[in-house]
Amino acid sequence: MSELYVMGHRNPDTDAICGAIALADFLSQTVYPHAQPSRCGNIPERTAWVLEQAGLEAPKLITNTADCVEGVDFALVDHNEFQQSVEGIENVSIVYVVDHHRLAGDVLTKSPIRFINEPVGSSCTIIAREYKYAGLTPSKAIATCLCAGLISDTLLLTSPTTTDLDREILPWIAELAEINTEKFTEGFFAVGSLLGAGTPDAVLNTDRKDFEENGLKLTIAQIEERGLGPFEGRRQELELELNQLCIDGDYTLALLVVTDIKENSSMIIAAGKSQVIDSLPFERKDDTLFYGKGVCSRKKQIFPAAAAAVATMA
Ligand SMILES: [Mn+2]
């Protein structure tokens, strides 16, 4: 039987790492006994904290599918765009997808596959429901992973991406994980403030996603913080690094989104074509700085606005 790796996106976040672990566990108990979790990037500090809580190992690191055996299969979690996936993904067969992002039309297959994409708060929400549908109960460790993905993506059910399904699933998995969701959320976000102590490189690259719109490239980095106290003092060095990234990556627009999880609002630094920056719909503070009140979701609020701004170049 060929190998099957369950893979989250590049610059993985907690939903991508924990979703890969949970989906591999689910698939190994159901249709793919050989399913194994994998990752194509470093484990962020907060995700490492979750794995420690759950008593789980980090998934296997695969940076290029060429390093896998011939005929390997992949399941994608928390993404469906090749530019956000592991290097070489276009050369392997994809047999399963669980995601909650826009469709970019990359995944083409020779046989029918299971492709579950729903506009819910996290990939882990969908995976938890798969256990329910199958009449299976996730272990305490896997339930902890599922909680972490759901809580981190929805900012404990407060993000505008939160749906009734998220609100219905969380109490079930929190009970199985034996966690208090408030305390868990507090513990999770208390770990490793990138705004306080991260290098500019870490701030920009820990959670950054690339997109293409009308053949133009954009990139959106995001960090989540409890309060934005250090922002003013760090803005200049972060903006310098963002400008360099924008030039090196040939982006039409590059954004750094610093989200305050206490307020569910964001400060947004922009680099790129001024015509595009001028079209951003957020409250403008100066030439390159914006404030988004109630703006905290990249997929639902920031990317659509950024894509519309980039479309003004077409
Ligand atoms: Mn997610």
Q: Which helix (H) or strand (E) holds 307?
A: helix 303-311
The reply to whether 4-190 and 194-311 are identical in fold is no
pLDDT, averaged across the chain: 96
Q: What is the pTM (predicted TM-score) of this model? A: 0.92
How remote is the CA of residue 286 from the centroid of ligand 1, in Å? 31
Percent of the chain with pLDDT strictly greater than 90? 94
In Å, what is the CA distance from 223 to each residue of 30, 73, 92, 188, 203?
36, 32, 32, 14, 7
How remote is the CA of residue 123 from the centroid of ligand 1, in Å? 5
Dist CA 287 CA 309 (whole Å): 15
How remote is the CA of residue 289 from the centroid of ligand 1, in Å? 26
Quick: pLDDT tens for 187-236. Answer: 999 998 999 989 999 999 999 999 998 899 999 999 999 999 999 999 99
Record: fold of 194-311: Diaminopimelate Epimerase; Chain A, domain 1 (3.10.310)
Q: What is the dihedral of CA 42, 102, 147, 230, to 10 degrees?
A: 60
How remote is the CA of residue 297 from the centroid of ligand 1, in Å? 10
What is the chain's percent helix, strand, coil content, to nearest 5? 40, 20, 35
Residues 262-270 have a mean pLDDT of 96
pLDDT of 2 strictly over 80: no
How remote is the CA of residue 17 from the centroid of ligand 1, in Å? 10
Residue 1: its pLDDT value, please? 60
How remote is the CA of residue 313 from the centroid of ligand 1, in Å? 29
Name the residue with tokens 């999880």: 261
Give the number of other CB atoms < 10 A from CB of residue 42. Answer: 16
How remote is the CA of residue 9 from the centroid of ligand 1, in Å? 9
Quick: pLDDT tens for 241-258. Answer: 999 999 999 999 999 999
Nearest to 303 by CA among 244, 257, 238: 257
How remote is the CA of residue 182 from the centroid of ligand 1, in Å? 20
Quick: pLDDT tens for 50-104. Answer: 999 999 999 999 999 999 999 999 999 999 999 999 999 999 999 999 999 999 8
How remote is the CA of residue 120 from the centroid of ligand 1, in Å? 9
Residue-range domain boundaries for the chain: 4-190, 194-311
- According to CATH, the superfamily of the domain at 4-190 is inorganic pyrophosphatase (n-terminal core) (3.90.1640.10)
Residue 138: its pLDDT value, please? 98
Query: Which amino acid is it at 37?
Result: P
Residues 149-170 have a mean pLDDT of 97
How remote is the CA of residue 100 from the centroid of ligand 1, in Å? 7
How remote is the CA of residue 230 from the centroid of ligand 1, in Å? 27
Quick: pLDDT tens for 111-146. Answer: 999 999 999 999 999 999 999 999 999 999 999 999
Nearest to 120 by CA among 173, 166, 171: 166
Query: Which amino acid is it at 220?
Result: I
CA 147, chain centre distance (Å): 15
